[in-house]
Amino acid sequence: MELSKRLYAVAGLVTEGASVADVGTDHGYIPIYLIEQQIAVKAIALDVNGGPLERARMHIVGHGLKEKIETRMSDGLSALKPGEVDTMIAAGMGGGLIIRILEEGKEIVDTLKACVLQPQSEVWRVRKYLLDHHMDIIEEDMVEEEGKFYPMMRAVRAVRGEPPQYTDWEYIFGKCLLEKRHPVLERFLHRELEIREGIFRQLNHHVGSESALQRREEIRREMMIISRALGCYCINSGASL
């Protein structure tokens, strides 16, 4: 099974020997890859829609893995029983939906060793939810594919009392990514800063508008946060942030 760069990076956050539930499996590519590469020992492909689930089943059968990968129609984690798997994957869906899946499937999530998540939006909300619910983000990755940037994370049950302190820019862009000065994130930050600088210059031509003034302040704050994140890539300034 050949995966896209995004899905390959998601699969790379799964540890060897895991038993996996892939939520919103779509074509079933990740479970097939994990079993074929002998990364996972067991996989359950979950999807809320019958069409994608049937496509996944056909791909699984086509790869000769129907004895090793089970398909289930499931809204989030609802079709799982506690202890069936030790790792869940939720990739390619909005951050709000991922949070809902984690919240509604709390009984299952509490039994897991790890959650591998790749939110397409509101990534900061997912990070905050995890930390607020006693999970630590121990690994993050980010890839660029066809002009789009995809952050992803691996979270495990916390073994400490108080959650770690995150700055605004660490919530938004990823503490682990910033600490290891991830090159893809750096490209993303430069692009985002350039976009906002252009918007800011345009807003300077509409200084008499109240809405433009408010928007300019929003853009100014966003530029400051991005600049703080970029400061983590400077050895001298990184320690002082």
User: What average pLDDT is seen over the chain?
Assistant: 93
Per DSSP, the three-state class of 87 is strand
The reported pLDDT for the residue numbered 207 is 66
Both tokens assigned to 75:
């809204």
According to the CATH classification, is domain 5-164 in 3.40.50.150?
A: yes
Helix and strand tally (H, E) in the chain? 11, 7
pLDDT in tens, 132-159: 999 999 999 999 999 999 999 999 998 8
Q: Does residue 12 carry a pLDDT above 70?
A: yes
Asked which of 65-69, 73-77, 177-181, 214-218 is least confident by mean pLDDT, the reply is 214-218
> Between 42 and 159, whose confidence is greater?
42
The reported pLDDT for the residue numbered 239 is 41
The answer to whether 71 and 62 are in contact (CB under 8 A) is no
Both tokens assigned to 188:
């993303």
Q: Provide the edge-to-edge strand list for the sheet that holds 135-145.
A: 69-73, 40-47, 18-23, 87-93, 114-119, 148-157, 135-145
Q: Does residue 89 carry a pLDDT above 60?
A: yes
- Domain extents for the chain? 5-164, 184-238
pLDDT interval class at 11 (50, 70, 90):
very high
Both tokens assigned to 177:
């990514």
**CB neighbours (10 Å) of residue 144?**
16
